[in-house]
Structure 1
Amino acid sequence: MASPRASADPATAPTAHGTGTDAGADGEDTLDLHLPEEFAALFRTERAGPAPAAPAGADLLDRVADWGPAATPDGPFELVPVQDARDIALVGRWMNDPAVAAFWELNGPPEVTDAHVRAQLTGDGRSVPCLGLLDGVPMSYWEIYRADLDPLARYCPVRPHDTGVHLLIGDAADRGRGLGTTLIRAVTDLVLARRPRCTRVLAEPDLRNTPSVAAFLGAGFRLAAEVELPGKRAALLVRDRGAPGLP
């Protein structure tokens, strides 16, 4: 799970981590109680002790490494799972940008980012940290995760296979020009195309982060609720499969 302080903001330090809700007939979001077997299995494992690390290349997200690129107006974009210390060092540099640090709170010595990323790399595969490559150049950091298997599900109702997204855009030159919305849309399209069992993609930026909320809304998300999370009050944003005008 990503830093509970993280908050999506394509204009400054974009990141989203969220859990979802089901829209009922009255238009309100209601709890879906049909939890997947993975959730029960992980719960049993957590009670028994720490889960074993996932095999190399394995994840619970239909192999993010194999998703391939997405076409965007700014060039091909691809998620590439973090692989080595050089990747982590790059993410650490981005985390120490004040605009990013204000929301992620993972600034400081290299060990801070290293611990955060390696906890996912050595985990059970429910969260996959990635570099975002635009036209072959690393320019953003993403965490694609199973929201239904994430501790944040304690704060929000979820559906099986709901997929959460955290992100940050690394360099100031790539912020504030609409690129965040473009990439959010591209990644969301990838999630829904490559994860047929997933019906919703979720994000929960800090409510104070109005540029971020606007970026997600521009990428086809809807505001489902306001949620109290550790360290912030969040806008719970949901992109539904088959939303009008979207895949």
Structure 2
Amino acid sequence: MPPTDASAEADAGTVPELDTSLGTAIGTGAVPSSSSGVSSDNEDTMDLRLPDEFIALFAEEPGMRGASGGDRQVTTEQACDTPDGDDLLDRIADWGVTSTPAGAFRLVPVRVENDLPLITRWMNDPAVTAFWELAGPETVTEEHLRGQLEGDGRSVPCLGVLEGTPMSYWEIYRADLGLLARHYPARPHDTGIHLLVGGVANRGRGLGTTLLRAVADLVLDKRPSCARVVAEPDLRNTPSVSAFLSAGFRFSAEVDLPDKRAALMIRDRALHDLLQRRHM
């Protein structure tokens, strides 16, 4: 399961204090059949949980590692055309450019024929392989990408383009319609993000935090039905967890996913709206 954000890193010396529980649950584990993996004293346990029968309709994800699935062979454009004329993620291709402290940034949906060599190279970086588990020839990465692009549109793989240069890989996905929803109190339209900063030169200087904040804001701006942006980095990936915290996400719970023990990170619309008001 690649949602581990292997290269999202915060600035040294600016990382918030981690909850002490983060340091005691390292590694991966199978999902307990009788537990959601969410602590009983967490405020999110009061949320309405979607019925298992409903989640099961959306959680079949062949060929995917925690993003989205579906066996229909359709193009990206077709995947975006649902019966109501909209798509599950509000047309990411139309979200446009957002301004960040690092420069102009936009998400561009992946085109396998053009982008496969670059993404494959990033996936074979030794710093990445331990978390994303997609090392190998181009066919490995291609299978992962096509599993999303030829699915029902609940997960969209994107390149992050900063000042005109592709420099990161993203997956924007409907957390409430996938595997993750089985392991936390999902709310309708919860939107998840995975991040991989591709180039070594872009890591370790706070760029991951900057982009995570920008993309979380972009999701909330462009998806008015979404009240929360969520993520589930591997607990072993301390730089990634720290980057999410620095980007305004809060640690909600530890969750046991099939391939890892993860930190459930949540960024609420309330924080987004508060920050917007302060900048007006």
TM score, norm. by length of structure 1 = 0.84
Structure 1 range deviating more: 223-232 or 53-62: 53-62
For 1:173, what is the secondary structure of its paired residue? helix
1:166 aligns with: 194
Name the residue aligned to 1:235.
263
Deviation at 1:99, TM superposition (A): 0.5
Give, in whole Å, the separation in 1 of the partners of 2:266 and 2:217.
13
Q: Kindly provide the CA deviation profile for residues 23-53 of structure 1, in whole angstroms up to 9, marking residues without a partner as x.
A: x9x7621242357xx9686479x9xxx6534
Per-residue deviation, residues 61-86 of structure 1 (Å, max 9, x unmatched): 00010011110111100000001322
Unmatched segments (≥5 aa) in structure 2? 11-35, 63-69, 81-86
In structure 1, which of residues 2, 7, 27 is the aligned counterpart of residue 4 of structure 2?
A: 7
Aligned to 2:97: 69
Q: Which has the higher mean CA deviation after the structures are superposed, 133-142 or 208-217?
A: 208-217
Partner Cα separation in structure 2 for residue 145 and residue 77 of structure 1: 19
| Matched-pair contact (CA < 8 Å) for 1:6–1:105 | no
SS in 1 for 2:236: coil
Deviation at 1:124, TM superposition (A): 0.5
1:132 aligns with 160
Question: What's the RMSD between the two structures over aligned residues?
Answer: 2.8
Match of 1:195 among 223, 226, 231: 223
Give the letter for the 2:122 counterpart: W
* Partner secondary structure for residue 68 of structure 1: coil
Contact 1:139 1:169 in 2 (8 A): yes
Alpha-carbon distance in structure 2 between the residues aligned to 1:122 and 1:219: 31
The answer (yes or no) to whether the contact 1:127–1:144 under 8 Å persists in 2 is yes
Matches for 1:135-214 after TM superposition, within 5 Å? 135-214=163-242
Contact 2:37 2:256 in 1 (8 A): no
Q: Does 1:246 align with 2:275?
A: yes
Aligned length: 231
The match for 1:28 is 43
1:97 maps onto 2:95 in alignment: no
Matched, 1:107 2:135: yes
2-side partners of 1:109 and 1:27: how far apart? 42
Which deviations, in whole Å up to 9, do the C-alpha atoms of 1:100-130 show, x marking residues without a partner? 1111010011100000001111000000000
Q: Which amino acid aligns with 1:11?
A: E
Which string of whole-angstrom CA distances, capped at 9 and with x for unpartnered residues, describes residues 119-159 of structure 1? 11100000000000000100000000000111222222200
Q: Give the number of the structure whose alpha-carbon radius of gyration is greater.
A: 2
Residues 136 and 42 from structure 1, CA distance in 2 versus in 1: closer, same or farther, beyond 3 angstroms? same
- Give the Cα–Cα distance (whole angstroms) in 1 for the partners of residues 75 and 234 of structure 2: 34
**2:250 corresponds to which residue?**
222
**C-alpha contact 1:21 1:32 (8 A) present in aligned 2:** no
Q: Unaligned regions of 5+ residues in structure 1, if any?
A: 13-19
Aligned residue type for 2:4: S
Letter in 1 for 2:188: P
Distance verdict in 2 for CA 1:175–1:217, change over 3 Å? same
* 1:213 aligned partner, one-letter code: V
Q: Hey, what's the Cα distance between the residues in 2 that align with 1:227 and 1:42? A: 20
TM-score (norm 2): 0.75
Question: Partners in 1 of 2:201 and 2:56 — Cα distance?
Answer: 44
User: Which deviations, in whole Å up to 9, do the C-alpha atoms of 1:167-208 show, x marking residues without a partner?
Assistant: 100010000000000000000000000000000000111112
Alpha-carbon displacement from aligned partner over 1:202-243 (angstroms, at most 9, x marks no partner): 011111211111110111100000111122211110000012
